[in-house]
């Protein structure tokens, strides 16, 4: 080992840092033959001792307790702020979710829809078309002159609420059928079946139909469909039998299909 190599290693030697054993032996051997390098190592060792003394002397110095108090207060403050912001976030999230799910117009629309559905259901369940029309018939409906001798008038399934009191016991309401979108077929006499009456006008004039007449006609199926009657389009008959309820004033108030 020459002097330059020794100078490069003198710090590690002076600080007792781990070195390769062979290198360390070479360095120590060099100090025995080179006085200047030996003095350099001695000076470096002294420096190490001084530095350690300095480190020991200053090793117990700390910050003042106020620093820790201030920092701890900051931790506490942030904890409170975090909790507050967490609460705010939860409230905001809940509020936004609530707004997102239940905006006012949706609530209003939903309530309106529910009311409409309920009203329609109640109306259709309590006053079906056939019952309205049947109920609107006068109690002496059977006495109405028949234009067709083969057809008997059909007793109303459920009378109109307004005319229930006037009906005789034989006109007590029958059990309504569940489906309202198709004409209810009821057995008349023998093998004939008649659907429920379907109104042709928006309002019913009870006086006009008090002595009304039922007229049986053969009507093209397409015409009835065009009038809005719920018939099957793919029927095999071109014409169907229908009964039209005519008022005293000659207005056709309702129609039903007879089969």
Q: Which is nearer to other proteins, 56 or 238 (CB)?
A: 56
Which CB sits closer to other proteins, 71 or 94? 71
Q: Which is nearer to other proteins, 45 or 146 (CB)?
A: 45
For other proteins, the binding residues in 73-92 under the rule CB under 8 A are 74-76, 78-79, 82-83
| 184, 195 contact by CB (below 8 A) | yes
In terms of CB distance, is 75 or 233 closer to other proteins? 75
Q: Which is nearer to other proteins, 37 or 229 (CB)?
A: 37
Site size toward other proteins, by CB under 8 A: 35
Percent helix, strand and coil across the chain, each to the nearest 5:
55, 10, 35
| Least spacing, CB of residue 15 vs other proteins, in Å | 7
User: In the bound complex, what is the minimum distance in angstroms from residue 82's beta carbon to other proteins?
Assistant: 6
Q: How far is the CB of 69 from other proteins (least distance, A)?
A: 11
4's torsion region: left (phi>0), alpha (psi -120 to 50) or beta? alpha
In terms of Cβ atoms closer than 10 Å to its own Cβ (0-12, 13-18, 19+), residue 254 is: buried
- CA-CA distance, 235 to 167, in Å (whole number)? 37
Q: Taking the complex as a whole, how short is the minimal distance between the CB of residue 99 and other proteins, in angstroms?
A: 30
CA dihedral for 91, 93, 98, 99, sign (positive or negative)? positive
Q: Which lies closer to other proteins via its Cβ, residue 59 or residue 178?
A: 59
Of 2-31, binders to other proteins (CB under 8 A) are: 7-8, 10-11, 14-15
- Report which DSSP code applies to 259: -
Rounded distance between C-alpha atoms, residue 256 and residue 30, angstroms: 128
Distance CA 251, CA 208 (A): 8
What x/- string results for residues 27 through 66 when contact with other proteins is judged by CB under 8 A?
----------------xx-xxx-xx-xxx-xxx-xxxx--
CA distance 18 to 13: 8
Minimum CB–partner distance for residue 5 and other proteins (Å): 12
Q: In the complex, what is the shortest distance from the CB of residue 95 to other proteins, in angstroms, rounded to a whole number?
A: 25
Residues whose CB falls within 8 Å of the CB of residue 254, separated by 6 or more in sequence, listed in order: 133, 197, 198, 199, 200, 244, 245
Provide the minimum distance between the beta carbon of 44 and other proteins in the complex, in angstroms, as a whole number.
6
User: Which residues lie near other proteins (CB under 8 A)?
Assistant: 7-8, 10-11, 14-15, 43-44, 46-48, 50-51, 53-55, 57-59, 61-64, 67-68, 70-72, 74-76, 78-79, 82-83
């Amino acid at each position: 080992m020459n002097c330059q190599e020794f100078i490069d290693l003198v710090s590690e030697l002076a600080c007792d840092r781990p070195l390769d054993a062979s290198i360390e032996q070479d360095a120590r051997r060099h100090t025995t033959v080179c006085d200047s390098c030996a003095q350099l190592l001695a000076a470096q060792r002294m420096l190490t001792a001084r530095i350690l003394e300095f480190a020991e002397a200053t090793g117990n110095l700390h910050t003042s307790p106020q620093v820790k108090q201030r920092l701890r207060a900051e931790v506490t403050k942030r904890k409170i702020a975090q909790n507050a912001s967490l609460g705010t976030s939860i409230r905001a999230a809940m509020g936004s979710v609530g707004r997102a799910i239940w905006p006012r117009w949706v609530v209003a629309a939903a309530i309106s829809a529910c009311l409409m559905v309920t009203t329609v259901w109640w109306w259709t369940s309590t006053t079906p078309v056939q019952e309205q029309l049947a109920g609107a018939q006068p109690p002496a409906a059977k006495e109405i002159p028949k234009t067709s001798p083969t057809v008997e008038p059909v007793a109303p399934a459920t009378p109109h609420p307004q005319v229930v009191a006037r009906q005789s016991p034989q006109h007590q309401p029958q059990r309504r059928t569940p489906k309202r979108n198709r004409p209810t077929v009821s057995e008349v006499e023998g093998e004939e079946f008649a659907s429920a009456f379907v109104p042709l006008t928006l309002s019913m004039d009870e006086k006009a139909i008090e002595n009304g007449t039922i007229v049986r006609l053969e009507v093209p199926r397409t015409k009835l469909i065009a009038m809005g009657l719920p018939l099957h389009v793919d029927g095999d008959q071109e014409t169907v039998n229908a009964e039209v309820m005519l008022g005293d004033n000659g207005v056709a108030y309702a129609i039903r299909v007879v089969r």
